[in-house]
A and B are shown apart, each in its own frame.
Chain A
Amino acid sequence: MSEVTGGVEMEEETGGTVKKFMFVNRKAPYGTIYALEALEVVLISAAFDQDVSLVFLDDGVYQLKKGQHTKAVDMKNFSPTYRALEGYDIDKLYVEKESLEQRGLTPDDLVVDVQVLSADEISKLMAEQDVVLSF
């Protein structure tokens, strides 16, 4: 299975222990590289059998918006890739309620099934993590 290991060192370091990794997505999907880079890191992290969760807040909620048409900005529409996360055993997707509401969105507007949590609930979850990576 050498194909999927992106960093042998990391495996040795963790020595089979599972840590809680949370990836926090705060930025709009296009205009910066953050959203796409975060998604790549998440996909790679799946190879290490860690406890991975994703949070979408602020403009980050737009990453999951249905019906993205990216031709005009000359970027690949990578929103379908969020639907592949389930196959990578990443099924903890949290969206902040306030961010969603401020943008007039509901879970029905999103490409994947998510858990909608309040800012307070998300902050509690963050406190439980071993590693929080913000993009």
Chain B
Amino acid sequence: MGTIEVNGKVLETDEEGYLQNLSDWSPEVAEYMAKQDGLELTENHWEVINFLREYYEEYQIAPAVRVLTKAIGKKLGPDKGNSKYLYELFPYGPAKQACKYAGLPKPTGCV
């Protein structure tokens, strides 16, 4: 358990830094978390983050990385639906890291 402070608001996270309450999320939270990892969020990052939020909204889970990669490929094209592209954007693992920025729980099946 930990907390982060974004825009003067204290938000609860789990021990790995994932938000406890989905409803605490805002784009500033993603920016803040990325900054902590030394990352500047670009439009390409946001594409994935927004995709994950939509996926969660629809299915109520965070997808496994394999499922994410396939689904991104379907939606954004094969040049983006591959591990290389996604790992370049999110070096700590596209599912884990992008889900964290998106305010979602850690994907089921992740270690």
Contacts and interface: CB of A to CB of B under 8 A. Distances in A.
A1 interface: yes
Contacts of B17: none
A40 B108 contact: yes
A20 interface: no
A40 B62 CA distance: 12
A3 B60 contact: no
Given A1-B65, A4-B65, A87-B67, A43 B108 contact: yes
Interface residues of A, number: 20
A81 interface: yes
A5 to B, nearest CB: 7
Which of B66, B93, B108 has its CB near the most chain A CB atoms (within 10 A)?
B108
Nearest to A43: B108
A135 to B, nearest CB: 16
Q: Is the interface of A mostly helix, strand, loop or mixed?
A: helix
Contacts of A4: 64-66, 95, 109-110
A3 B96 contact: yes
Interface size class of B (residues with CB under 8 A): 20 to 34
Contacts of A5: 111
Interface stretch (A9-17, A54-62, A72-80, A100-108): A72-80
Contact of B108 (A44, A77, A80, A83): A44
A78 B63 CA distance: 14
Given A78-B60, A87-B63, A2 B83 contact: no
A84 B108 CA distance: 12
Contact of B64 (A80, A81, A83, A88): A88
Interface string B65-80: 1110011000000000
B58 interface: yes
A87 B71 CA distance: 8
A116 interface: no
A47 interface: yes
Given A47-B109, A84-B58, 11 more contacts: A1-B65, A2-B93, A3-B64, A4-B66, A4-B95, A6-B110, A43-B108, A47-B64, A47-B66, A80-B59, A81-B59
Interface of A: 1-6, 40, 43-44, 46-47, 76-78, 80-81, 83-84, 87-88
